[in-house]
């Protein structure tokens, strides 16, 4: 399969679609998932046009997962989480829906299950509030 530059994450990277950004560096971008399965659910993507883990270069993987760790630490702190789940899906059979490689950072609390993926979007003010908390944790 080839990379499709019209995917939603490519549009976010080009500034053609909005996203509630929590972290950005030269190689990666992290932003709030608009259909969160947990409060503070964040997505981390490479800026390179990479469809799946299998297409990624070692350099893309190294920088992506370094950012996943940075974002995960801030998210756990900001959201007062007891732990976290990291998810990454590849191709439709593996559960991938947007075909730009991305990693889900999901803060978790003891006894609180993940919400189902219903396709319902979270209110913008909720996403902004969670993003602000996570961004503040980078400063702490």
CA of residue 68 relative to chain centroid, distance: 8
Residue with token string 């059979």: 93
Q: Is 27 a residue of the active site?
A: no
Q: Which of 102, 104, 117, 130 is catalytic?
A: 102
Q: Decide if 46 contacts 60 (C-beta within 8 A).
A: yes
Q: Decide if 84 contacts 73 (C-beta within 8 A).
A: no
Taking the CB of residue 111, how many other CB atoms lie within 10 A of it? 6
Query: How many Å apart are CA 71 and CA 41, to the nearest integer?
Result: 11
Q: Decide if 101 contacts 50 (C-beta within 8 A).
A: yes
Residues assigned a catalytic role: 102
């Amino acid at each position: 399969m080839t990379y499709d530059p019209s995917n939603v994450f490519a549009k976010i990277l080009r500034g053609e679609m909005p996203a509630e950004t929590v972290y950005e560096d030269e190689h990666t971008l992290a932003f709030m998932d608009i259909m969160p399965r947990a409060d503070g659910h964040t997505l981390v993507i490479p800026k390179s046009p990479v469809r799946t883990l299998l297409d990624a270069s070692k350099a893309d993987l190294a920088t992506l997962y370094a950012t996943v760790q940075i974002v995960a630490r801030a998210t756990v702190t900001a959201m007062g989480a007891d732990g976290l789940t990291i998810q990454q899906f590849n191709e439709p059979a593996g559960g991938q829906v947007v075909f730009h490689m991305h990693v889900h950072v999901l803060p978790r609390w003891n006894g609180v299950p993940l919400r189902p993926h219903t396709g319902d979007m979270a209110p913008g003010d909720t996403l902004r509030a969670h993003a602000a908390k996570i961004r503040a944790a980078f400063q702490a």
